[in-house]
Amino acid sequence: MPRKEEGGDRRLTRRSFTASAAAAGLVAGGAGFVRAQGAPLKVGVILPRTGIQAESGQSCHQGAEVALPILKERGYPDLVLMPGDTESKVDVARTVAERLINEGAQILVGAFDSGQTSAIAQVAELRRVPLVINIAAAPAITEQGYRYVFRNFTTAGMIVTDMLLLQKEVFAYAKVTPKTMVLMHVNDTYGTAVLGGIKALMPKHDMPFPLGEVIAYDPAARDLSVEVAKAKATGAALLWAISRVNDSILITREMVKQRWQPMGVIAAGPGWYEDQYLQTLGTLANDMISTVPWYDPNKAMSKALIAAVANAFPGRNVATNQAYTFEALLIVADAYQRAKSADANALADALRQTNITDNVTIGTVKFNAKGQNETVHCAAAQNRDGRLIVVAPRSSANGEPIWPMRPWDKKA
Amino acid sequence: MPIEIYANVLVAGVLTGLVYGLSALGLSVIFGVIRIVNFAHGEMMVMGMFLAFVLFRWLGLDPLYSMPIAAAALFLFGYLLQVTLVHRVAHLPEHLQFLLLAAVATVLVSSGQMIFGPDARSVQVAYALDSYAIGPLIVDKVRLLAGTAALGVAALLFAFFRYTLLGKSIRACADNYQGALVVGLNVPRLYALTFGIGAACIGAAGAIILLLVDVHPYLAPGYTLLAFVVVIVGGLGSLPGALLGGVLIGASEALAGFLFVPSLKSAFSFAVLIIVLLFRPQGLLGRAAP
């Protein structure tokens, strides 16, 4: 017969093991019950708040700031934002993601830049913390087989496809179609990537004009007079622009000075719709069209967002950055509500089942097996006296397109 | 393609080149007399740009009108810099002179960022988007005024060195240092004045360039490099050479960018530099070494 230990029999028996396991399960389940019922979800919001992309990061954060009260009003569970600044650098983005997770972030949102977002996605996948991408167009991010990464933004290919289709819709609606075009693009990774997409996709979409002269310019250029002169010399009816806000201002100024009046300007990407462009150029900014990931101004959630931004940030227009960051938090809140748990796997499973129609962007929110939302689309947004009017797709429009654009001295 | 399109590009390039030339004049004046290369050239020009920007914001003063103020302020800065720092290294090896002025440049850039931040600043003058139609040519009004102002300042500078006693004294120092001492010229004071005059040119160029380009603290290195290219092409120490070099670089950048690939505009200026160095290393109007 085995000798008893002093103080009683402490050997592990089936009975003692079962009792312990039951107790542990009760505690864990109870904790989960408590979390689901009241604890705010900790959301790491990672954006380039400083550095060269600071302006974009700040405008993204505006969308995040106004999101919490709107979501709460609609009965979504509470979120707690844990801001992180990538400083516009990839290596910092990685470090920030790690830090936020170590500090208790249960889900991540970010990060505007594709390079930085890719770095964060790797961390999220490794640490098994879900990441909801607000803005990042590089297709490869959702081609890695990640289980915890979800993107509610158009890929570069989707942006180009929408660009081609939307302008055809504008031409058809206005019954005026240009027959020639010239393309000016910033000569960096972003500009050349979009150009590559245009070259690949244009033949598939039966455009009314061939791809005309392509004029690349230095991203650090202080003066674009030669480039605009070259574009004007082609005699093209339409200017396509792939640029950033400073370039868009330089190009527009030169177009006015050189008295170049094409039928219109269609931009794919940032710059031509941004507040800095609108404020710097005033009425000269009117009638420029940007085909970019956008929001549907007619949706109820969009109207709430527009009102909130107008109240919190007077003089600021809602644009891509605010809209998509807001919607990322909507997605997070919706997933948390359905998961009823802050457990990473539960959240990830809930994200995979997402199907939101009461959102802000054009389309719905529904992720495919790779974590990509294929139903989200771009819009053609036209500048109109400091405001941005959606002119296509017509199903989401809140104004008629002005096409061709008005002469420079008649834009007021 | 109609000839007037090329003419428009060429005219714009020449006008821009005049401003480059004025900026490079400052570098050439300083080197031509004191034999010191001002590696803080671009940073001093950015100082002039920021000063003109502040005057525009506070007083609504057009940069063309604030040009004399920027020139005077930079004159004072240059004079004091020479008197307090530069003259102490004038007799030292060139790499130490470079280090001193590079350090001054770094201080200026950091100060600019601390005071103004990293964002680009611009001035919106009433005529910013105006242009003149002269026959088939369309000439940008801002560029025309900038080029004319640069030409005017350069003409004043040439007149100063040719017709005034002070200018002749400075030229004497440049021609023959020992001889200048022997005849009783106060060479250290003349050197300080020269540095001030060079800095004044740079400040004036900065005020003018603000009409064409938005200013931020990190603009400087590009303009330092451009000024070096201009003076080497024109001839280090040659004032007409600096102006000619500026025009040549401005025109070649514009035409090459128009005829070939615009994003490689700057590469053509360096191609011109290489050609000049290979076939006429003293520059187009510089004097060959004995």
Condensed to tens digits (0 to 9), the pLDDT of residues A293-308 reads 999 999 999 999 999 9
Measured between CA atoms, the residue of chain A closest to residue B250 is: A226
Q: Find chain A residues with C-beta within 8 A of B266's C-beta.
A: 218
Residue A163 resides in a domain? yes
Q: Are residues A241 and A258 in the same domain?
A: yes
Q: Are residues A196 and A335 in the same domain?
A: no
Q: How many domains does chain A have?
A: 2
Measured between CA atoms, the residue of chain A closest to residue B123 is: A280
Nearest to B213 among A187, A222, A280 (CB): A222
Interface test with B, best of A189, A213, A230 (most B CBs within 10 A): A230
What pLDDT does B4 receive?
Answer: 85
Q: How far is A96 from chain B (nearest CA, A)?
A: 23
Q: How far is B140 from chain A (nearest CA, A)?
A: 6
DSSP state of B262: G
Q: Are residues A104 and A210 in the same domain?
A: no
Q: Find chain A residues with C-beta within 8 A of B222's C-beta.
A: 220, 222
Residue A108 resides in a domain? yes
Percent of chain B at pLDDT > 70 equals 99
The CA–CA distances, whole Å, from A323 to A302, A329, A380 equal 8, 10, 15
Residue A117 resides in a domain? yes
Asked if B12 lies within 8 A of A226 by C-beta distance, the reply is yes
Q: How far is B157 from chain A (nearest CA, A)?
A: 28
Q: Find chain B residues with C-beta within 8 A of A221's C-beta.
A: 263, 265
Which residues neighbour B164 within 8 Å (Cβ) at sequence distance 6 or greater?
Answer: none
Q: Are residues A203 and A261 in the same domain?
A: yes
Q: State the Cα angle at B21 between B18 and B23, rounded to 5°.
A: 115
Interface test with A, best of B123, B129, B137, B249 (most A CBs within 10 A): B129
Average pLDDT, chain A: 90
Nearest to A217 among B143, B254, B263 (CB): B263
Mean pLDDT over B122-140 rounds to: 90
Q: Are residues A181 and A79 in the same domain?
A: no
Asked if B214 lies within 8 A of A246 by C-beta distance, the reply is yes
What pLDDT does A16 receive?
Answer: 55
Residue A216 resides in a domain? yes
Asked if A226 lies within 8 A of B253 by C-beta distance, the reply is yes
Give buried/exposed letters for B223-252 (b at 16+ CB in 10 A, else e). bbebbbbbbbbbbbbbbbbbbbbbbbbbbb
What pLDDT does A34 receive?
Answer: 40
Average pLDDT, chain B: 90
SS (HEC) of chain A: CCCCCCCCCCCCCHHHHHHHHHHHHHHHHHHHHHHHHHCCEEEEEEECCCCCCHHHHHHHHHHHHHHHHHHHHCCCCCEEEEEEECCCCHHHHHHHHHHHHHCCCCEEEECCCHHHHHHHHHHHHHHCCCEEECCCCCHHHHHCCCCCEEECCCCHHHHHHHHHHHHHHHHHHHCCCCCCEEEEEECCHHHHHHHHHHHHHHHHCCCCCCCCCEEEECCCCCCCHHHHHHHHHCCCCEEEEECCHHHHHHHHHHHHHCCCCCCEEEECCCCCCCHHHHHHHHHHHCCCEEEEECECCCCHHHHHHHHHHHHHCCCCCCCHHHHHHHHHHHHHHHHHHHHCCCCHHHHHHHHHCCCECCCCEECCECECCCCEECCCEEEEEEEECCEEEEEECHHHCCCCCCCCCCCHHHCC
Asked if A257 lies within 8 A of B213 by C-beta distance, the reply is no
Q: Find chain A residues with C-beta within 8 A of B128's C-beta.
A: 253
Q: Are residues A373 and A385 in the same domain?
A: no
Q: Are residues A384 and A369 in the same domain?
A: no
Residue A11 resides in a domain? no
What pLDDT does A8 receive?
Answer: 43
**CATH number, domain containing residue A241:** 3.40.50.2300
What pLDDT does A11 receive?
Answer: 55
What pLDDT does A412 receive?
Answer: 72
Q: How far is A74 from chain B (nearest CA, A)?
A: 39
* A111-115, B58-62, B67-71, B134-138: segment of lowest average pLDDT: B134-138
Domain boundaries of chain B, sorted by first residue: 3-279
Q: Are residues A358 and A220 in the same domain?
A: no
Question: CA nearest B8: which of B127, B129, B125, B135?
Answer: B135
Q: Are residues A289 and A227 in the same domain?
A: yes
Give the pLDDT band (50/70/90) at residue B287: confident
What pLDDT does A3 receive?
Answer: 42
> B3-279, which class in CATH?
mainly alpha
Q: Find chain B residues with C-beta within 8 A of A242's C-beta.
A: none
Q: Find chain A residues with C-beta within 8 A of B3's C-beta.
A: none
What residues make up the domain containing A288? 157-294+379-410
What pLDDT does B78 receive?
Answer: 96
Q: Are residues A98 and A47 in the same domain?
A: yes
Q: Are residues A196 and A261 in the same domain?
A: yes
Measured between CA atoms, the residue of chain A closest to residue B216 is: A222
What pLDDT does B190 receive?
Answer: 93
What pLDDT does B176 receive?
Answer: 86
Q: Are residues A244 and A389 in the same domain?
A: yes
Tell me which residues of chain A have a C-beta less than 8 Å from any C-beta of chain B. 187, 215-218, 220-223, 225-227, 229-230, 232-233, 246, 253, 256-259, 280, 284
Nearest to B5 among A220, A229, A256 (CB): A229
Asked if B12 lies within 8 A of A222 by C-beta distance, the reply is no
Residue A398 resides in a domain? yes
Measured between CA atoms, the residue of chain A closest to residue B254 is: A226
Nearest to B9 among A187, A226, A280 (CB): A226
Tell me which residues of chain B have a C-beta less than 8 Å from any C-beta of chain A. 1, 5, 8-9, 12-13, 16, 120, 122, 124, 128-131, 133, 138, 140-143, 212-214, 219, 222, 253-254, 257-258, 261-263, 265-266
pLDDT averages per 10-residue partition of chain A, 412 residues = 42 56 47 56 96 88 96 96 95 97 97 94 97 94 96 94 96 97 91 91 94 90 90 96 91 94 94 91 95 97 97 94 98 97 96 97 96 97 96 96 95 78
